[in-house]
Structure 1
Amino acid sequence: MIVCPNCNHANPDGAVQCEACYTPLPVSIACPSCGTTVQADASFCGQCGYHLKSVSAPMLSTPESSLPDPLESPEPIVPEPLVQPDPILLPTQAERIPEAAAIQPPVLATQLQQSFARLLNLQTSTVVEIPPGLTVVHIGKPNDQIPPDIDVSGFPNSEIVSRIHADIRVEGETYYIEDVGSSNGTYINNSPLPMGNRHRLRPGDRISLGKGDKISFLFQT
């Protein structure tokens, strides 16, 4: 029998609701040990004490028809083949030569540049070029010992200039001047240049041959 949990009325086995109060009755099962009818939610059989929670799965299992369908394996995704771009055809070396030759500018011959120095006579504004290619340039007037490379005999007041007066020495692109024993001396920017001493010439230096600044030159490059 099944006892109603609401009014404790004893109902016959298999009843689904109480005959007295119409309360839904709990589902009952037979104890697998002694066969006594017990409620399905009971943990132990009231007759023999059997542990009902250990009942094998087939007695409590859901009918096979109610089981959900197994998940179907998705179809494998096949990647689409990569589309290869058309190869870029590069011109061969033989084809590039005419094009490169047309772009390149004509090659111009490199001209060697060489600096030149000169002396500007301040009394007459006459320009005297310092001879290129010489490492020692003699300044003076014509004589029998050392012919001057720069002859100042034609300038006014040249009588104060010694025949062997001064030398300009060239070292690379640097110019030096020294007095070589003149009678009236050599002056650089109005300062006397001791005999044997060298002075490095710079553009704008004033060179005076003799005292009184009567014959003077401006060094230029």
Structure 2
Amino acid sequence: MIVCPNCNHSNPEGAQSCEACYTPLPTMTNCPNCAAEVQSDATFCGQCGSNLTTSSMATEVEPSIATDISSPMPDLMALEPLLQPEPLVTNNETEAMPVVTTEVSKPPVMTSPEPPSAPPPIEPIAPPFAAPEAMPMEAKLSSTTQLQQQKARMLHIQTDTLIELPPNLSVVHIGKQNDRIPPDVDVSGFPNSEIVSRVHADIRVEGDTYYIEDVGSANGTYVNNLPLPHGNRHRLRAGDRIALGKGDLVTFLFQIS
């Protein structure tokens, strides 16, 4: 069957024009690879995909040049060598060859030079000042410790009494005498001490930093006239005003030296 390229109508074999639209039909041929029916002007076979142009060109190529091997080859002219070979030298001829000797000159004798005279000695120059003696390590550590160590104090404003905080404690308890937590700073002898709880506040030391916190007192702790909530802590600085209880009756001034 031949399919019309214009209206896709199937025409019988050998038809030259389409029965439906009278369009000239292409001529058909067989693929040289798979023998499938393809158009004569097709480039590739739709069945096997072979290139139809190369196969057609291979069939059209004819040998154009015929070689005649019956004719005899022309004689080549004998060419003279460009360089004449040198004759080989045998053992007998080597004895007659002259021997070339080379005279080896002796190297000149080197004489050791006279040693240079020694330079005059350099006299040491005295330093303009004597170096200070090295300080022992223990003395350095002690001096450094003394410089870095701080002393904290609490000045009772009502009586102008100065209380030194213990330097070797990390927690300083403030309150009055009791059997549960003995105070490190006892305020029972100050006026109006009845408003201060037995376990009133703590000062915690962390390096060079001091913190104060209320530990559940009845009348509270005030820093710079502001109440300090229970469970919170305040970083103390020199000049802070600490009041134990209400009414600013038991008041201390925090100092660092």
Give the TM-score normalised by structure 2: 0.48
Distance across 2 between alignment mates of 1:124 and 1:107:
49
Partner of residue 227, structure 2: 192
Partner of residue 104, structure 1: 131
Distance across 2 between alignment mates of 1:104 and 1:157:
62
Deviation at 1:105, TM superposition (A): 2.4
5+ residue gaps in structure 1?
Answer: 1-83
Partner of residue 55, structure 1: none
Distance across 2 between alignment mates of 1:177 and 1:88:
73
Distance across 1 between alignment mates of 2:120 and 2:188:
84
Partner of residue 51, structure 1: none
Partner of residue 11, structure 2: none
5+ residue gaps in structure 2?
Answer: 1-116
1:127 equivalent in alignment to 2:162: yes
**Secondary structure in 2 matching 1:103:** coil
Distance across 1 between alignment mates of 2:236 and 2:222:
12
In structure 2, relative to structure 1, the CA distance for the partners of 1:120 and 1:107 (3 Å cut) is farther
Structure 1 residues 1-221: aligned runs within 5 Å = 87=120, 89-91=122-124, 103-108=130-135, 109-110=139-140, 111=143, 112-113=145-146, 114-221=149-256
Give the TM-score normalised by structure 1: 0.55
What is the number of residues matched between the two proteins? Answer: 131
Task: Flag the structure with more relative contact order, 1 or 2, with Cα contacts below 8 A and sequence separation at least 6.
Answer: 1
Distance across 1 between alignment mates of 2:232 and 2:123:
71
| Aligned residue type for 2:248 | D
Deviation at 1:88, TM superposition (A): 5.9
Deviation at 1:133, TM superposition (A): 1.1
Distance across 1 between alignment mates of 2:200 and 2:161:
20
**1:90-118 residue CA offsets vs partner (Å, 9 max, x unmatched):** 43xxxx9xx77x81224452312211100
